[in-house]
């Protein structure tokens, strides 16, 4: 049995699309707002106090910009990976989120928009990433700079829950969530 790893899950700061209520998904080019940079700086200070040994980040711009703040505070370099991307929403990305409540079947883990990714696919991607992390732990404390739905999927996988049981609450922008895996 592998030794436990502490994950420090950092949600990116507020992005320009968060601020205006647009569905982001895997849209790569959305930057942080000034508030988002302040949130990322606060998360970075919290992260530095928790002393991670390794930092990995989603390769989407809003996460990379957050990881840059974290790298300055911790003194750690970071590596990006598409495994930590947000759930893809395909053709729905860039549309106002409030318009999607009648379009998206949030209760069906197998539903996905055209060109997007279902919760089942997100869960499988995150599960594979965590299995690899547990098989070859890069450190005892690992910081992951990522996205709201991805954090919820990590929490579900760590708790042994399926894609139909992701936590309902999405962590706030610029938050740090701690959990243990590989136990």
37 is catalytic: no
User: Residue 22, SS3?
Assistant: strand
Q: Return left, alpha or beta for 24; rule: phi > 0 is left, psi -120 to 50 is alpha, else beta.
A: alpha
110 is catalytic: no
What would the two tokens of residue 145 be?
């700079």
Residues 127 and 122: their CA atoms lie apart, in Å, by 8
What strands lie across the sheet with 78-81, from one edge to the other? 78-81, 54-58, 141-146, 5-11, 176-181
| 40 within domain boundaries | yes
The CATH number of residue 86's host domain is: 3.40.50.1240
| 102 within domain boundaries | no
Which of the four pLDDT bands, split at 50, 70 and 90, describes residue 85?
Answer: very high
Q: Which residue in 69, 86, 93, 147 is the catalytic one?
A: 86
Q: Structural domain tally of the chain? A: 1
116: containing domain? 5-97+107-181
pTM: predicted TM-score of the whole model, two decimal places: 0.96
| Per-residue pLDDT tens digits for 96-147 | 998 888 888 878 999 999 999 999 999 999 999 999 999 999 999 999 999 9
| 113 within domain boundaries | yes
Q: With 80 as the cut, is the pLDDT of residue 91 above it?
A: yes
């Amino acid at each position: 049995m592998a030794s436990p790893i502490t994950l420090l899950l950092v949600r990116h700061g507020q992005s320009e699309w968060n601020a205006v209520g647009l569905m982001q998904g895997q849209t790569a080019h959305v930057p942080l707002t000034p508030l988002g940079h302040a949130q990322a700086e606060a998360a970075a200070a919290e992260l530095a106090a928790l002393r991670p040994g390794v930092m990995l980040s989603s390769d989407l711009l809003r996460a990379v910009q957050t990881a840059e703040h974290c790298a300055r505070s911790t003194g750690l370099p970071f590596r990006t990976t598409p495994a930590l991307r947000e759930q893809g929403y395909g053709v729905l990305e860039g549309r106002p989120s409030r318009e999607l409540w009648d379009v998206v079947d949030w209760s069906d883990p197998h539903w996905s928009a055209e060109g997007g990714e279902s919760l089942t696919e997100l869960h499988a991607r995150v599960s594979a990433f965590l299995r690899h992390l547990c098989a070859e732990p890069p450190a005892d404390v690992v910081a992951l700079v990522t996205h709201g739905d991805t954090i919820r999927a990590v929490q579900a996988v760590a708790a042994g829950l399926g894609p139909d049981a992701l936590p309902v609450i999405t962590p706030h922008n610029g938050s740090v969530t701690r959990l243990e895996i590989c136990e």
